[in-house]
Structure 1
Amino acid sequence: MIEIHNIHKTFNGVKVLNGISGNFESGKMNMLLGASGTGKSVLLKCIVGLVKPDLGSITYDGRIFANNKLDIKQEIRRKIGMLFQGSALFDSMTVNENVEFPLRMLSDMSKSDRLDRVQFCLKRVGLEKAGNKMPSELSGGMKKRVGIARAIAPNCTYLFCDEPNSGLDPLTAITIDELIKEITQEYNITTIVVTHDMNSVLEYGDNVMFLYKGHKLWEGHSSTIMDTNVKELNDFIFSNRLMRDAKKVDQIEAEERLEDEQSREEKR
């Protein structure tokens, strides 16, 4: 579990994060939701240690991160896996070499053990036959899969995904969501996903935190997100006609269920 408390961050006099607190549980898809410029990526960077918050605390399974000793921070960082928005594969390396890279940097494994681990991770994401390919030979979805394999290669305990569906077609996006969900549950990883994709949120969001102009305005399970009274969240969710129509259908079905219940009560 990762816990954040009262996180504040200002850049050049502009308040980007204003007192964000919350818990991100293991084995669940924890999602940071919001429009562009709301502070999602900055919060993620604070949590992983790329940006130091001006105020507040971050703990990994009860261990303070930001202000702890260097060896403790390094130990925690070795357990962090990151899936970048653009996959961020090394163009000059093969798929095998990309996945092996964090093992060479962060572990004392032998070459043969590293290669065994690479093959295991590539097989887990369905790319066991792509090891000798270069990134330029891969589709967008395959690059995301390689990115996931690289992230989990060091047996990560914490997985961070920045817009994992960016640039993908709908079917591939669903496949990537399902893969991240499966890996999260299978290895009991604490996964945090930055997203603005409502399809991902509604289908896979175990815990959703909605940010608006640096404030946390709502937090809860995706099953309750369409019933909120938070105006800013409703404006975000129902900004397109498809979601507005879905809301109307839900309302109609709820009214019909209520009428059926009332009718049964009257018959009794």
Structure 2
Amino acid sequence: MIEIDNIKKSFDGKEVLKGISGVFEKGKTNLIIGASGTGKSVLLKCIVGLIKPDEGTVFYDNRDFTNADRNLKTDIRREIGMLFQGGALFDSKNVEQNVIFPLNVLTQMPLDEKLDRVNFCLQRVGLENVNKKMPSEISGGMKKRVGIARAIVNNSSYLFCDEPNSGLDPQTAITIDNLIKEITEEFNITTIVVTHDMNSVMEIGDYVMFLHEGLKVWEGSDQNIMKSQVKELNDFVFANKMMRTVRNEETPG
């Protein structure tokens, strides 16, 4: 479980996050949604420690991460897996080398055990016999799968996904969504996904936090989001539907 309490952040005198609190439960896919510029990515960076909030606290299973000493922060970071937008694979490394990278950095595990773990994770995301392929030789969806394998290779307790469906066709995006949800439940991970994609919300949104102009203005599940009486959320949902309609009309065939 991850809990955030009254997170505030400003840049050059402009408030980006205006006191956001919430609880992201273990074994559930927790989504942070909102239009561009609403503070989603800044909040994610505050949670993982890439940015220190001006006020507020982040707790990882009741451990104060924001004010932790160096040793505790290092321990918590070892438990974190990240799926970056676009996959963020090392172009000069093959699939196996990409996935094994966290194990090389964070553990003293023997090589044979590392390779066993790499192969297990690749098989779990539906990729076999691609170990020696370069990122340039695989599709965008496969790159995201490799990114997920790398994110969980260190037995992560916490998984963060930044726009995991960016650049993917609708069918592949659904596959990636379902894979994230399956892995979250199977390994009982605390997963936080930052997205603006309503398809993801309706597919896997166990808990959804909607941000608008740096504020949390709604929270709930995919089951009740369509019943919302919050104007900003309804406008966001409608705009998302319109964008999907336009994209579908522009897609040949």
Identity %: 68
User: In structure 2, what is the equivalent of residue 55 of structure 1?
Assistant: 55
Q: Counterpart of 2:112 in 1: which secondary structure? A: helix
Deviations 1:132-157 (A, max 9, x none): 00000010000000000000000000
Matches within 5 A, 1:7-22: 7-22=7-22
Amino acid at match of 1:234: N
Q: TM-score, normalised by structure 2?
A: 0.95
Give distance in 2, aligned partners of 1:204 and 1:198.
10
Give distance in 2, aligned partners of 1:2 and 1:240.
28
In structure 2, relative to structure 1, the CA distance for the partners of 1:107 and 1:38 (3 Å cut) is: same
Matches within 5 A, 1:121-160: 121-160=121-160
Give the alignment's Cα RMSD to 1 decimal. Answer: 1.4
Q: How far has the Cα of 1:242 moved from its partner?
A: 6.0
Q: How far has the Cα of 1:240 moved from its partner?
A: 5.3
Deviations 1:71-105 (A, max 9, x none): 01000000000000011100010100000000000
Amino acid at match of 1:14: K
Do the aligned residues in 1 keep the contact of 2:46 with 2:52 (CA within 8 Å)?
Answer: yes
Q: Is 2:161 the counterpart of 1:161?
A: yes
User: In structure 1, what is the equivalent of residue 69 of structure 2?
Assistant: 69
Q: TM-score, normalised by structure 1?
A: 0.89
Deviations 1:173-221 (A, max 9, x none): 0000010000000000000000010011012100000000100000001
Deviations 1:53-77 (A, max 9, x none): 0000000000000111110100000
Give distance in 2, aligned partners of 1:232 and 1:52.
28
Give distance in 2, aligned partners of 1:138 and 1:66.
38
User: In structure 2, what is the equivalent of residue 33 of structure 1?
Assistant: 33
Do the aligned residues in 1 keep the contact of 2:32 with 2:192 (CA within 8 Å)?
Answer: yes
Do the aligned residues in 1 keep the contact of 2:198 with 2:240 (CA within 8 Å)?
Answer: no
Give distance in 2, aligned partners of 1:12 and 1:131.
45
Q: Structure 2 unaligned runs (5+)?
A: 246-253
Aligned residues: 245
User: In structure 2, what is the equivalent of residue 97 of structure 1?
Assistant: 97
Q: How far has the Cα of 1:222 moved from its partner?
A: 1.0
User: In structure 2, what is the equivalent of residue 186 of structure 1?
Assistant: 186
Give distance in 2, aligned partners of 1:240 and 1:30.
19
Do the aligned residues in 1 keep the contact of 2:27 with 2:188 (CA within 8 Å)?
Answer: yes
Amino acid at match of 1:104: N
In structure 2, relative to structure 1, the CA distance for the partners of 1:33 and 1:241 (3 Å cut) is: closer
User: In structure 1, what is the equivalent of residue 5 of structure 2?
Assistant: 5
Do the aligned residues in 1 keep the contact of 2:178 with 2:203 (CA within 8 Å)?
Answer: no
User: In structure 2, what is the equivalent of residue 171 of structure 1?
Assistant: 171
Structure with larger Rg: 1
Amino acid at match of 1:9: K
User: In structure 1, what is the equivalent of residue 84 of structure 2?
Assistant: 84
Q: How far has the Cα of 1:236 moved from its partner?
A: 0.5
Q: Structure 1 unaligned runs (5+)?
A: 246-268
